[in-house]
């Protein structure tokens, strides 16, 4: 190529799922019926009232123009009410909440707003790959900290503090955790806030999974003093089955929000107003709606557990979120080998854990975003396979 790409993306690869979806598409085009148990793309419907609102507001003259970079006031108020009701956190809807086009957008905005070239970022291993990609695009240095099964997939602060943290500016955390399903606790959040204050590090909690198979939604902003050093991303993608709508938010101190807005206002021209008005109605849903949603996930989880038994996998049943994280059976050397075997021999795609980091290489993830019939078909296909041994 005559024109060279920017140095900032030389270490940023194509998102794994982008590549794998292309491979699955090729297999399907050749006649292979692949069941995708990989990506967490909710297949349940959004709240009906949200869909009705989108349709009706889409017919209103004047709702199709550019919108404010800070979202409509009704949406900010709805997010504030949601946080108050379910997390016990009081946020100023004018100054401490910034609506986003999904929380993934926020990961990039936060990174560009606070990181200079050479700054360091603490990122868990395993973790959502977008944290590392955003840090690299911001030309920061990634510093991994290990999450291990032995430690309940929680940060080991004593181990982290053995390193020089003088250049660390941000720390990404994600509880309830993806991919491991580990849950948050008040004591964990308190320890994170103490750590952030001690080392002058901005603690960024990515919190989209707190309403899925989790009876006690928690926010890091509920901890005393959290607003001094912490911000939180949230989203309607998982909690309200609205992934494609791209409605999220970041909450935190007003000065921090204003800093993020300086980036965001130069990146987009606001969200579609009918979608924002529909999101308002979604955020007003009663607890019963979330309960019904989780009843479906719970029934699917039982089938997934049956599937895991066939695979010979070890896992913790007490996980939150829309996935199950499990250890690769001992007869495989690596999660990629495990995943490819079942993709090419059973037509079932299972996410290999290595894509989330070195600590995930011997684990895999199954999505609960597939209906009863597809999960049963996956079970039938795997039942037909003979036992296999790959380990040297």
**Measured distance CA(365)–CA(351) in Å, rounded:** 5
The pLDDT value given to residue 304:
96
On whether the 65-285 domain is CATH 3.40.640.10, my answer is: yes
| End-to-end C-alpha distance for the chain, whole angstroms | 42
Alpha helices (runs of H) in 41-152, residue ranges in sequence order: 48-57, 73-82, 103-114, 129-137
Cβ contacts of residue 139 below 8 Å, gap of 6+? 8, 115, 116, 117, 118
Q: Percent of the chain, pLDDT > 70?
A: 96
Smallest Cα–Cα separation from 324: which of 333, 338, 313, 334?
A: 313
The pLDDT value given to residue 370:
95
- Helix/strand/coil for 236: helix
**Measured distance CA(177)–CA(154) in Å, rounded:** 9
The pLDDT value given to residue 390:
54
For 78, 128, 130, the CA distances from 355, given in Å and listed in that order, are 35, 9, 11
Contacts 24+ apart (CB under 8 A), 82-86: 82/283, 83/219, 83/221, 83/251, 86/211, 86/217
The pLDDT value given to residue 25:
86
In the chain, CATH 3.90.1150.10 sits at 7-45+288-384
Cβ–Cβ < 8 Å for 304, 346: no
The pLDDT value given to residue 15:
64
The pLDDT value given to residue 108:
96
The pLDDT value given to residue 132:
95
At 359, phi and psi to the nearest 5?
A: -70, -10
In the chain, CATH 3.40.640.10 sits at 65-285
The pLDDT value given to residue 283:
98
| pTM tops 0.85 | yes
**Measured distance CA(252)–CA(374) in Å, rounded:** 41
The pLDDT value given to residue 1:
58
- Topology, domain 7-45+288-384: 3.90.1150
All residue ranges of the chain with pLDDT < 70 are 1, 11-15, 386-392
pLDDT tens, residue by residue, 73-122: 999 999 999 999 999 999 999 999 999 999 999 999 999 999 999 999 99
């Amino acid at each position: 190529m005559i024109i060279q790409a920017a140095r900032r993306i030389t270490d940023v690869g194509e998102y794994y799922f982008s590549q794998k979806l292309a491979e699955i598409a090729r297999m399907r085009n050749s006649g292979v019926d692949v069941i995708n148990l990989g990506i967490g793309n909710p297949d349940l419907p959004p709240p009906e009232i949200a869909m009705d609102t989108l349709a009706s507001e889409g017919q209103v003259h004047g709702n199709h123009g550019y919108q404010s970079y800070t979202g409509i006031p009704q949406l900010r108020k709805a997010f504030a009410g949601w946080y108050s009701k379910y997390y016990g956190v009081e946020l100023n809807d004018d100054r401490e909440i910034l609506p986003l086009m999904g929380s993934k957008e926020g990961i990039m905005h936060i990174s560009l707003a606070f990181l200079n070239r050479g700054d360091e970022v603490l990122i868990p291993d395993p973790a959502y790959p977008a944290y590392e990609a955003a840090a690299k695009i911001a030309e920061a240095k990634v510093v991994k900290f290990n999450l291990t099964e032995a430690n309940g997939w929680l940060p080991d602060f004593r181990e982290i503090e053995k390193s020089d943290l003088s250049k660390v500016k941000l720390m990404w955390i994600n509880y309830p955790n993806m991919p491991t399903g580990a849950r948050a606790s008040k004591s964990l959040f308190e320890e994170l806030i103490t750590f952030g204050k001690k080392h002058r590090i901005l603690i960024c909690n990515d919190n989209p999974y707190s309403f899925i198979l989790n009876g006690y939604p928690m926010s890091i902003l509920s901890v005393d003093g959290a607003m001094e050093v912490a911000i939180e991303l949230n989203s309607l993608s998982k909690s309200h089955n609205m992934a494609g709508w791209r409605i999220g938010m970041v909450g935190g101190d007003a000065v921090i929000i204003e800093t993020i807005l300086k980036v965001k206002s130069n990146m987009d021209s606001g969200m579609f107003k009918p979608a924002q008005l529909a999101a308002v109605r979604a955020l007003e849903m009663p607890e019963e709606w979330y309960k019904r949603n989780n009843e479906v996930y719970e029934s699917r989880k039982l089938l997934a557990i049956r599937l895991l038994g066939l695979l010979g996998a070890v896992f913790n049943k007490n996980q939150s979120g829309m996935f199950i994280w499990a250890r690769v059976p001992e007869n495989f050397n690596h999660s990629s080998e495990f995943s490819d075997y079942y993709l090419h021999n059973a037509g079932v795609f299972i996410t290999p854990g290595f894509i989330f980091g070195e600590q995930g290489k011997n684990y895999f993830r199954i999505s609960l975003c597939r209906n009863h019939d597809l999960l049963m078909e996956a079970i039938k296909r795997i039942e037909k396979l003979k036992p296999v041994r790959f380990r040297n």
